[in-house]
Amino acid sequence: MTKTATLYRMVMTDHMCPYGLKAKDLLERNGYTVDDQHLTSREAVDAFKAEHSVKTTPQIFIDDERIGGFDDLSAHLGKPVAEKDAVTYRPVIAIFAVAFALAVMITWLLHGTFFVGQTIAWFISVSMVLLGLQKLQDVEKFATMFLNYDLLAQRWIRYGYVYPFVETGAGLLMTAGLLTWLSAPAALVVASIGAVSVFKAVYIDKREIKCACVGGDSRVPLGFVSLTENLMMIGMAVYMLTMV
């Protein structure tokens, strides 16, 4: 039997509802023939909301039963949308994966092969740059979240504003092998403070909070991954210092 659904969504000259498009795509991917009804004016939208006693669009109907909006449709089809505040490691996994890929590409460009000992060092330094970039997108939000657990930031507020620049700058210099006398000690200091702070918050105080490692809007839980980030920086700094 053909499965059909009716979708009401805003399609106006100055606005096309993205969730309406997502709902249409989701229905079609699940085998539904979609009766795509466009609400082309503010008056049409307001009239639709009043008629069906709803506050938002899009609205989806299946077999004359109102399912609701995009999130409701996702749940109805067994594909619920993750809660906005749900913790996730995806941002960190994505950053580390891209950093490793970049390290491999740098290795290929310079050595004509995909992996040498230096590849690991590039992976760590590029990871520092990418993680620092996430923080630099909104330094204010990062600094605020950083205060939840960093011991130095809690004593010197401005440290939270300095940290993203130190991490990013040290990562760039380490990638190029420049000014090691500056980059390696800087990374060693901030990473050591970070490691102690994370260890205390997670393993001593047993706190369940979110990590600012990927910026102030992070949903990454503070824990092993955060500690690993700092330990990688420490290892990189020590390696660079021994190579001077």
Print the SS3 string covering 39-95.
Answer: ECCHHHHHHHHHHHCCCCCCEEEECCEEEECHHHHHHHCCCCCCCCCCCCCHHHHHH
Average pLDDT over residues 4-15: 94
| pLDDT of residue 152 exceeding 70 | yes
Average pLDDT over residues 66-78: 93
- The pLDDT value recorded for residue 199 is 95
Place of tokens 């980030």: 229
Q: What are phi and psi of 228, to 5 degrees?
A: -60, -40
Measured from the Cβ of residue 241, the count of other Cβ atoms closer than 10 Å reads 15
Task: For residue 85, name the pLDDT band (cuts at 50, 70, 90).
Answer: low
**180-211 burial by CB neighbour count: b if 16+ within 10 A, else e?**
beebbebbbbbbebbbebbeebbeeeeeeebb
Q: Where are the beta strands (DSSP E) in 3-53?
A: 3-12, 15-16, 32-39
- The pLDDT value recorded for residue 84 is 64
184-225: pLDDT as tens digits: 999 999 999 999 999 999 999 999 888 888 887 888 888 888
| pLDDT of residue 83 exceeding 80 | no
pTM: 0.82
| CA dist., res. 122 & res. 126, Å (int) | 6
The residues, ordered by sequence, that sit 6+ positions from 109 with a Cβ below 8 Å of its Cβ are none
- Residue scoring higher pLDDT (89 or 39): 39
Out of 9-18, 91-100, 214-223, least confident range: 214-223
| C-beta separation of 170 from 186 below 8 A | yes
- The pLDDT value recorded for residue 244 is 66
Best CA proximity match to 73, nearest among 1, 9, 2 = 9
Task: For residue 114, name the pLDDT band (cuts at 50, 70, 90).
Answer: very high
Sorted by where each begins, the domain ranges of the chain are 3-76, 90-243
Q: In the CATH hierarchy, which top-level class contains the domain 3-76?
A: alpha beta
Average pLDDT over residues 164-180: 95
Out of 45-49, 83-87, 236-240, least confident range: 83-87
